[in-house]
Structure 1
Amino acid sequence: MSDMSKLGVGVIGCGNISTIYLRNMPNFRDLRLVACADLRPEVARDQAGLFGIEALTIEALLARPDIQIVVNLTTPNAHFAVSHAALTAGKHVFGEKPITVEAADAAALVAEAAQRGLKLGCAPDTFLGGGGRTARELVDAGRIGKVLYGTCFLMSHGMEHWHPDPTFFFKPGGGPILDMGPYYLAALINLLGSVTHVQGRASSGFATRLVSSKGPMNGKSITVETPTTVMALLHFETGADIVFTMSWDVWKHGHAPIELYGTEGSLRVPDPNFFGGVVQYTEKSSDWISLAADDRAFGKPNWRSPNWPDHMPSQANYRCLGVADLASAVLHGTPHRASGALASHALEVMHATLKAGVEGGEIAVQSRVDRPAAMSETDALALWAAETF
């Protein structure tokens, strides 16, 4: 494919998460990385130097005619303004999660993109990895029958042990539900469809957090101003009820990330923060059958965090897959999967969960979203430019 038939990409926001996007992008068939921008020009210059692209101001990037897609990796409180500006400039947009901080802003972006005939996508795209696709195939094939119930757990002791400046995680707009909830909800919506009702409890286990990570914040305390444990019951349009717990107040636990219980068996879905892992399912009460995603497109471990101890295994990290799927959708006139509509629905569910934690009772979720189209192995391989994984 010639460079001219690829879509030019500009990245706005050059913080922690940008490196994996910038590193992965050249491996995708339809993407051509052009430039990056950040409110801190020196940070943009550093990333531009590392990846051989231009560093621009945000305004200059949005004005570039050779950039068709803006990847918005700014902090959550800037997501709405930057994505809106990019849509107004006639660019397709793929943003980091959550799509915006406020649910009404997310719905406004979805409407704006639709009105302009532009694609709006949002992380996470992890459910499109080898692990997520394997789980989807088992559900769609009826291997566990109709899903009746399930459990979903994200539990750790927060971000202060690894993130150089974890302050925003513990302030309004942060917390585990808005930070990590999108991964788990996208995985569940991909498997089960829309959430219709939510019940919940929300609380903070610790009033302050002591930062032990390396960096300027080391040894400083952060005052916690948002719930750090949210326990919810999600009711899906299909009838499934899922126990949903997100906590940064837990030192150790033994729960699987996602388990689904169907009329014909059970299913374990791997950690939706990554693209690979092992999917397990049962036929009625028989032993677990394990299906590793390592040999599937976007399932092979390819990355490890510098903060992980040696015994932690490497993980599949193909962030940018959703951008590539969006680009393919633009070029071929097809729907993209990690869509703004899916992210907007997930955000409404998260806010309903927080509201239920404050008010009690059951909160109705107004929006509905279709499950994204399943991605076959052929579809997945068509997005990848490198010879192998």
Structure 2
Amino acid sequence: MGDPHRIGVVGTGYISGQYLSTLAGHPGVRIAAVADIDAARAASVAAGIDGCRAVAVDELLQDPEIDTVLNLTVPAAHAAVALGAIGNNKQVYGEKPLAADLAAARVVLDQAAAFGVPVGCAPDTVLGTGIQSARAAVDAGLIGRPMSAVAVMATPGHERWHPNPDFYYRPGGGPLLDMGPYYLSALIHLLGPIVSVTGAGSRLRESRVIGSGPRAGERIEVSVDTHVTGVLHHAGGALSTITTSFDAVRTTAAPIEVHGETGTLAVPDPNTFDGDVRLFELGAGDWRTLAPSAGYVDATRGIGLLDMITAPAPRAGGALALHVLDAMTALLHSADQGRRIDLTTTAERPAPVPFTTPEQWR
């Protein structure tokens, strides 16, 4: 990479620790500055990183010594921070979603194109050995022509463990917008872009009770569907079925299964970077586990930013994030309107990640 790539972090909440464990001390990058609406929190984070300054958000966005802005703010601020970085000719990599709504996300990418700067966006878990080894198996023809996939995320609800779960049950929350980016990004890596969707949704109850923390026992209102399911029509002809639910106690389903003419792949949780990929071939007597064959080994959050500044095109890129947001938005509209909806975006299937050891990427 030559001289260390200089990163400024906006947002020093809980998730920042996971990113900084990957990026702080990496020889190819330097955390030059951090900013947060809580100045004391930013100062505390900066104190733990050699050569890092705690500054105001606007100062960081305008700082000529910053090459890339890592945007770890709340979703409602994603677009504003991204546009501030882009307007100062900086690259930007952010947490999911790309923006709080599709219109704002389009503006971010339009501005990035106008300024000629790349945009990256989580999730980058799909760049680990789990999803990438599954993709390598599909691409190698181990299941024959892929015909369909099934993705399942089912939990009894975040209020059982989260001390402030209100967001998950308000507009902009819900199981699809919360967890869907992991599953949809993985399905696009595996099967390619989506052309249309058909969705349905339901709500088990109108309120939830917080189960932990100082607000334990408090009842909160539910104003979104807490079970969303749908069919995704991929450009290559495959059909994916996705279910995301805060209304299920437990499931035995694999996080993702991909079915082809000659085999089925069981794919690990796309919310993690690794995990076993298992293959059941037509005529076989049992599953067999495939050795990891692709992806960043032992990756952690932040690998997508490293990939963005080193690869010819970001694999966890803005176009993919926009397409995922389009698909989720369309699923919710379809569930509300009771009809199939064509997507207005597309995204090229990102380039596969070759098998890359920690010694090669760290």
Would you call these one fold, judging by a TM-score over 0.5? yes
**For 2:283 and 2:226, how far apart are their aligned partners in 1?**
36
Is residue 177 of structure 2 the alignment partner of residue 178 of structure 1? yes
Which residue pairs with 1:33 in the alignment?
31
Q: Assess if the C-alpha contact under 8 Å between 2:295 and 2:353 holds in 1.
A: no
Which residue pairs with 1:384 in the alignment?
361
- Name the TM-score, length of structure 1 as normaliser: 0.88
**For 2:49 and 2:160, how far apart are their aligned partners in 1?**
29
For 1:4-43, what aligned pairs fall within 5 Å after superposition? 5-26=3-24, 28-43=26-41
SS at 1:181's partner residue?
helix
Which residue pairs with 2:307 in the alignment?
325
**For 1:222 and 1:322, how far apart are their aligned partners in 2?**
35
Long gaps (5+) in structure 1: 301-316
Q: CA deviation at 1:162?
A: 2.6
Which residue pairs with 1:243 in the alignment?
241
Which residue pairs with 2:70 in the alignment?
71
Which residue pairs with 1:309 in the alignment?
none
Q: CA deviation at 1:183?
A: 0.4
Q: CA deviation at 1:241?
A: 0.8
Q: CA deviation at 1:200?
A: 1.0
Q: CA deviation at 1:7?
A: 1.0
Q: Assess if the C-alpha contact under 8 Å between 1:198 and 1:349 holds in 2.
A: yes
Which residue pairs with 1:88 in the alignment?
87
Which residue pairs with 1:261 in the alignment?
259
SS at 1:34's partner residue?
strand
Paired AA for residue 185 in structure 1: L
Q: CA deviation at 1:108?
A: 1.7
Q: Assess if the C-alpha contact under 8 Å between 1:27 and 1:384 holds in 2.
A: no
Once the two structures are overlaid, the 10-residue window that deviates more, 216-225 or 369-378, is: 216-225
Query: Share of identical aligned residues, percent?
Result: 40
Which residue pairs with 1:148 in the alignment?
147
Q: CA deviation at 1:168?
A: 1.1
Is residue 203 of structure 2 the alignment partner of residue 226 of structure 1? no
Which residue pairs with 1:340 in the alignment?
318
For 1:59-138, what aligned pairs fall within 5 Å after superposition? 59-138=58-137
Q: Assess if the C-alpha contact under 8 Å between 1:30 and 1:383 holds in 2.
A: no
Q: Assess if the C-alpha contact under 8 Å between 2:296 and 2:354 holds in 1.
A: no
**For 1:361 and 1:27, how far apart are their aligned partners in 2?**
50
Task: Tell me how many residue pairs correspond in the alignment.
Answer: 360
- Aligned with residue 362 of structure 1, among 330, 335, 340: 340
Once the two structures are overlaid, the 10-residue window that deviates more, 30-39 or 351-360, is: 30-39
Q: Assess if the C-alpha contact under 8 Å between 2:86 and 2:111 holds in 1.
A: yes
For 1:190-229, what aligned pairs fall within 5 Å after superposition? 190-214=189-213, 216-229=214-227
SS at 1:160's partner residue?
helix
Q: CA deviation at 1:126?
A: 0.8
**For 2:276 and 2:7, how far apart are their aligned partners in 1?**
33
Provide Cα deviations, 1:316-350, integer angstroms capped at 9, x if missing partner: x6000000001113xxxx11110000000000000
**For 2:114 and 2:145, how far apart are their aligned partners in 1?**
37
Which residue pairs with 2:289 in the alignment?
290
Long gaps (5+) in structure 2: none
- Residues 1:217 and 1:187: Cα distance change in structure 2 (over 3 Å): same
The alignment's C-alpha RMSD in Å is 1.8
Which residue pairs with 2:273 in the alignment?
275
**For 2:25 and 2:278, how far apart are their aligned partners in 1?**
30
**For 2:215 and 2:89, how far apart are their aligned partners in 1?**
39
SS at 1:337's partner residue?
coil
Which residue pairs with 1:304 in the alignment?
none
**For 2:15 and 2:283, how far apart are their aligned partners in 1?**
41
